Amino acid sequence: MNEKALMLIEATLKPWIEVRKRDISKMVMNVNTTSSLVEQGYVRTKYGDLVIVPNYRLRKGSSYIIEETSKGSAFGWVNRKEK
Protein backbone atom coordinates (compact mmCIF):
# COMPACT_ATOMS: atom_id res chain seq x y z
CA MET A 1 0.00 0.00 0.00
CA ASN A 2 1.08 3.53 -0.79
CA GLU A 3 2.56 5.29 2.28
CA LYS A 4 0.65 8.53 1.56
CA ALA A 5 -2.66 6.63 1.33
CA LEU A 6 -1.96 4.90 4.64
CA MET A 7 -1.22 8.27 6.26
CA LEU A 8 -4.57 9.65 5.00
CA ILE A 9 -6.43 6.62 6.37
CA GLU A 10 -4.72 6.84 9.76
CA ALA A 11 -5.34 10.61 9.92
CA THR A 12 -9.07 9.94 9.39
CA LEU A 13 -9.08 7.23 12.06
CA LYS A 14 -7.04 9.14 14.66
CA PRO A 15 -9.77 11.33 16.23
CA TRP A 16 -12.24 8.44 16.34
CA ILE A 17 -9.87 5.99 17.97
CA GLU A 18 -7.56 8.17 20.08
CA VAL A 19 -10.07 10.81 21.21
CA ARG A 20 -13.50 9.17 21.05
CA LYS A 21 -12.16 5.69 21.95
CA ARG A 22 -14.02 3.98 19.08
CA ASP A 23 -13.27 0.40 18.02
CA ILE A 24 -11.73 -0.14 14.56
CA SER A 25 -13.37 -3.57 14.34
CA LYS A 26 -16.74 -1.78 13.96
CA MET A 27 -15.51 0.37 11.06
CA VAL A 28 -15.28 -0.28 7.33
CA MET A 29 -13.69 1.66 4.50
CA ASN A 30 -15.73 1.96 1.30
CA VAL A 31 -13.73 2.14 -1.94
CA ASN A 32 -14.52 2.00 -5.66
CA THR A 33 -14.98 -1.55 -6.96
CA THR A 34 -11.91 -1.19 -9.20
CA SER A 35 -9.56 -0.44 -6.28
CA SER A 36 -6.74 -2.91 -5.68
CA LEU A 37 -7.69 -2.83 -2.00
CA VAL A 38 -10.89 -4.79 -2.75
CA GLU A 39 -8.84 -7.92 -3.50
CA GLN A 40 -6.84 -7.56 -0.29
CA GLY A 41 -10.01 -7.10 1.80
CA TYR A 42 -8.38 -5.04 4.56
CA VAL A 43 -5.78 -2.38 5.31
CA ARG A 44 -3.37 -2.91 8.19
CA THR A 45 -3.12 0.36 10.16
CA LYS A 46 -1.39 1.24 13.41
CA TYR A 47 -4.84 0.92 15.03
CA GLY A 48 -5.49 -2.58 13.64
CA ASP A 49 -6.99 -4.03 10.48
CA LEU A 50 -9.62 -1.94 8.67
CA VAL A 51 -12.06 -3.94 6.54
CA ILE A 52 -12.49 -2.85 2.90
CA VAL A 53 -15.96 -2.79 1.31
CA PRO A 54 -16.42 -2.28 -2.46
CA ASN A 55 -18.90 0.46 -3.40
CA TYR A 56 -19.81 0.87 -7.07
CA ARG A 57 -21.31 4.32 -6.41
CA LEU A 58 -17.96 5.86 -5.49
CA ARG A 59 -15.80 7.55 -8.10
CA LYS A 60 -12.42 5.96 -8.69
CA GLY A 61 -9.95 7.44 -6.19
CA SER A 62 -12.62 8.23 -3.57
CA SER A 63 -12.97 6.41 -0.27
CA TYR A 64 -14.59 6.89 3.10
CA ILE A 65 -14.69 5.24 6.51
CA ILE A 66 -17.96 4.62 8.30
CA GLU A 67 -18.90 3.17 11.68
CA GLU A 68 -22.34 2.22 12.94
CA THR A 69 -22.70 1.38 16.63
CA SER A 70 -25.17 1.73 19.46
CA LYS A 71 -23.25 4.90 20.46
CA GLY A 72 -24.15 6.46 17.11
CA SER A 73 -22.42 6.59 13.78
CA ALA A 74 -19.26 8.19 12.44
CA PHE A 75 -18.34 9.09 8.87
CA GLY A 76 -15.22 10.53 7.33
CA TRP A 77 -13.87 10.98 3.83
CA VAL A 78 -10.36 9.61 3.33
CA ASN A 79 -10.14 10.94 -0.22
CA ARG A 80 -12.90 12.52 -2.26
CA LYS A 81 -12.82 13.13 -5.99
CA GLU A 82 -15.00 16.00 -7.17
CA LYS A 83 -16.93 15.89 -10.45
For the stretch 26-57, pLDDT in tens is 999 999 999 999 999 999 999 999 999 999 99
Question: Quick check: 43 and 49 in contact, CB under 8 A?
Answer: yes
The pLDDT value recorded for residue 70 is: 66
- Return the H-helix or E-strand segment holding 50: strand 48-54
Integer Cα distance of 31 and 15 in angstroms: 21
Q: Does residue 82 have a pLDDT over 70?
A: no
Q: Does residue 71 have a pLDDT over 70?
A: no
